[in-house]
Amino acid sequence: MHPSAERALELISTPQSPAQLLDASRKAWDEHGYPLTYACFMALVAFGDNYGAAGTNDEDGVGVIPRPPSEVIILAGRRRGEEALDMLNSLFMRVQEADSAQTDELAPGPSLADLDKNYKGNACYLMAYVVASGVSSLVAEGQDGERVLDSIGHALEELSG
């Protein structure tokens, strides 16, 4: 597995407070840069595909990223956290739309590179938080957390190969 994918999985699977996750995400981004952003996004997509982590946008039934609690977003900066989450939601929805249409073409909008350039470790933090909280929710519902993490790890390993 690529080192950035390993680090993304570590961010997702290591129990820590939001402040600790933010610090770890920023440090990991300083080490890996864009590959970490890519790995975190792919983990989010894999989790959404396999476990239905996304909610739905009532307008068109397209998945959206579950909104983290306000205190989680504020840690990334109130305005910047909201902007990063909006950009992430836009990208996630466009990826799902392209997948549904069975095309590689995304609708116009910000790219993962834009998200990475503008929000760096904060974007990784939000993605890692969403996936980690989704795994925690599944565990609370009685699912095997290790199995969920293994499936995300497998998806990241396939991308690395």
Q: Does position 77 have pLDDT exceeding 80, yes or no?
A: yes
Q: Does position 68 have pLDDT exceeding 60, yes or no?
A: yes
Contact in structure between 116 and 26 (CB atoms under 8 Å)? no
Q: Could you give the percent of the chain with pLDDT greater than 90?
A: 61
**In the predicted model, what is the mean pLDDT of residues 92-109?**
86
Tell me the β-bridge partners of 55: 64
Res. 106 pLDDT band, cuts 50 70 90: confident
Decide: pTM greater than 0.75: yes
The pLDDT mean for the chain works out to 88
Contact in structure between 44 and 130 (CB atoms under 8 Å)? yes
Q: pLDDT at position 100, please?
A: 82
| The dihedral sign for the CA sequence 105, 56, 7, 77 | positive
Rounded to whole angstroms, how far apart are CA atoms 88 and 93? 9
Q: pLDDT at position 57, please?
A: 46
**In the predicted model, what is the mean pLDDT of residues 128-150?**
91
Q: pLDDT at position 59, please?
A: 46
Res. 161 pLDDT band, cuts 50 70 90: low
Q: Does position 118 have pLDDT exceeding 80, yes or no?
A: yes
Contact in structure between 160 and 67 (CB atoms under 8 Å)? no
